[in-house]
Amino acid sequence: MATQWLTEHEMKAWLRLYAVVELLPSALDSQIRRDAGLTHFEYAALGMLSAAPEQTLRMTELATKTNATLARLSHVVRRMADRGFVDRIPCPGDGRATNVRLTDAGQRKVEAAAPGHVATVRTHVFDVLTPEQVDQLITVADAMLTRLDPDGKKKPGS
Amino acid sequence: MATQWLTEHEMKAWLRLYAVVELLPSALDSQIRRDAGLTHFEYAALGMLSAAPEQTLRMTELATKTNATLARLSHVVRRMADRGFVDRIPCPGDGRATNVRLTDAGQRKVEAAAPGHVATVRTHVFDVLTPEQVDQLITVADAMLTRLDPDGKKKPGS
DNA sequence: GAAGATTGAAGGTTCAATCTTT
DNA sequence: AAAGATTGAACCTTCAATCTTC
């Protein structure tokens, strides 16, 4: 089957999407790194724990919520445990599983970092979009996630 | 000034955008890594050179086009030169500048990798979007790029 | 054997310092 | 002093192998 190349219009869209996909993580990362000494991924993980019941999640659940592989998360959780932001607790019900719990120090860290992070997200995303465009963003992102995340694990609050 | 937290609707949009921003690079990277032995960033750099006049660009220009820092690009170009895909040529007109030129082997490498890459982009993006949604994607991405890229360097073919 | 998770090594990116030319 | 680029070290992610429990 011959390759169906991108049209000029599609290429235009692709270059913009690609730019966002490359530049947005950098912007998030450098802000939170400078202001809180965390990577954006670390912040996201702490934030998910903060919102979870008992401030606790299994490794696998946390990996799903943060769009990460288990290997990546495992390294990050070890470092954050060393820094006192989380505890690792063997799961009582299942000897294979590990529960990760946010510590008080971890909770304080997220709370301190949150305002700056939200401000960055507002600056780069919501400040420049109309309410209608926010709706369009949801629809378009959902469409792409049907392929990127076929099981629909990354769509909380649908 | 008190933090203006995200509404539930904004949070929904943010979680989806964030998922796309994390998962799309992984998807692009693993496909092209498996099939061509290149990172997606290396492919993007070779592709930009391939489309440039004389298949040549200055480091700074190439960094802009690939959304990268000069430090990152410098390391990548060194590795690709070692592999024979590009040549580094001191710029005749300006002793500080370096021109990067695609070699024949580099050209063959991009050409071999392109069909698989385009297929991946189609699968994850254009196959799941209506023409109207492609237009919306362009508008929304452009809006975010006014903040992520204030100088408008990343919007070729506007 | 599959699921849940961890580990070490290899590879890529970031940061700060540096160098040369303008 | 600024612009263009490079470098090495530190850090993070990926990959493959491994371990334990179900």
**Residues in chain A where the model's pLDDT stays below 70:** 155-158
The amino acid present at B117, given as its one-letter code, is H
pLDDT in tens, B116-140: 999 999 999 999 999 999 999 999 9
Neighbours of A59 (CB within 10 A): 17
The distance (Å) linking the CA of A94 with the C1' of C1 is: 18
- The pTM assigned to this predicted structure is 0.95
The distance (Å) linking the CA of A17 with the C1' of D11 is: 28
Query: Which residues are within 8 A (CB) of A19 and not within 5 positions of it... i.e. 6 or more apart?
Result: B67, B141, B145, B148, B149, B154, B155
Name the one residue in this structure whose structure tokens are 């305002």.
A115
Q: A35 — contact with chain B (CB < 8 Å)?
A: no
Q: Look at residue A157 in the predicted model and tell me its pLDDT.
A: 52
pLDDT in tens, A66-79: 999 999 999 999 99
Which among A14, A125, A157 has the least Cβ separation from residue B12? A157
